[in-house]
Amino acid sequence: MQFHMISGGPKPVAPFSHAVETDGFVFVTGQMPDTPAAPGLLPEGIVAQTRAVMENLRVVLAGLDLGLEHIVMSRIYLTRFKEDYAAMNETYRRYFPSDRLPARTCVGVTGLAYDALIEIDLVCRRPA
């Protein structure tokens, strides 16, 4: 098992690794919508926050020599599910070809770190 901290990656908000790898699977910790340069500062609105989370996920994946095409499953957490679900979906789907959408779960939650509107974690598979 390998525990990964990505140089230049998003600053963890708690004690965890950016990713843990085992048997070809890579489990990426949920990312927040802040930036490595400005931890805790969030953009306004679900569209900007979804983009920021996806960019943080790209940074972590790139540090592991992986990309969005290696995602098997994503889990999305929204604090304003009814209000933000449609706009989040529209933004999220732009990151994937229509014939390569990862499996996904999306749930409403009562709160996230930094009072974020969204957090996304991933399960990826490293190519053989």
Q: Which residue blocks in 1-128 are alpha helix, DSSP H?
A: 46-63, 81-93
Nearest to 22 by CA among 119, 123, 101: 123
pLDDT band at 11 (very low <50, low <70, confident <90, very high): confident
- Length of the chain in residues, anyone? 128
DSSP code of residue 70: G
Compute the average pLDDT of residues 3-24.
92
pTM: 0.95
27 forms beta bridges with 20, 123
Compute the average pLDDT of residues 21-28.
97
